[in-house]
Chains A and B, each alone.
Chain A
Amino acid sequence: GAVVSQHPSRVICKSGTSVKIECRSLDFQATTMFWYRQFPKQSLMLMATSNEGSKATYEQGVEKDKFLINHASLTLSTLTVTSAHPEDSSFYICSARDRLPDGYTFGSGTRLTVV
């Protein structure tokens, strides 16, 4: 089946630094990648939709300059959390439409802790 590889699975960074999260589709071309954020004991909230070769579309309330999304190829989308603060600590997970008519493949998620 379709696989999306997400790295890193866990990262701890200092306040003020930037962190890059990668999602790579291994056996299919992901034209569109969705990025979600999940706080503890809460649901997945859509942050942005990225399309290969174009600018990402951000959901209302999501800071474009803080959460930089790049989808430079059909197999790779990245989310960079810039100038991270403790309130950015969260679980970030990507999802791509795969080959199946209603297939959504998720990465394994990244747990970000900003100290």
Chain B
Amino acid sequence: AQKITQTQPGMFVQEKEAVTLDCTYDTSDQNYGLFWYKQPSSGEMIFLIYQGSYDEQNATEGRYSLNFQKARKSANLVISASQLGDSAMYFCAMRVANSGNTPLVFGKGTRLSVIA
């Protein structure tokens, strides 16, 4: 069965600094996708970035980049130039296979606090 592990329950970062949120995954499938979501206190799930297992380049979206190390089965999120508004819960998620019936499986999350 697939599993996502986020080992950092909480992280602090100084405003304008970069921060890395760790995510490791476990699956025997070759075709999978990795996602990062931000969840502010309002509860909505905000999609940040996606990496497909066959993508050779690391994904980037603005201040977000995904450090994808396939052999290590890790998909760490890097947030550059942190802002106070980045304070939130961050979830790493994975889908395996790629049918319409495939749900996302989530890690336990990391609470990021940005300090002024």
Contact = CB atoms under 8 A, between A and B. Distances in A.
B105 interface: yes
A102 B50 contact: yes
Contacts of A46: 103, 105
Interface stretch (A11-19, A79-87, A89-97): A89-97
Nearest to B52: A102
* Contact-residue size bin, chain B (C-beta under 8 Å from the other chain): 20 to 34
A104 B106 contact: no
A102 B100 contact: no
B98 A102 contact: yes
A106 B101 CA distance: 15
Contacts of A45: 106
B61 interface: no
B91 A106 contact: no
Contacts of A42: 108-109
A45 B105 CA distance: 8
A32 interface: yes
Interface of A: 31-32, 34, 38, 42-46, 49, 51, 91, 93, 95, 97, 101-102, 104, 106, 108-109, 111
Interface of B: 33, 35, 37, 42-45, 47, 50, 52, 91, 95, 98, 100-109
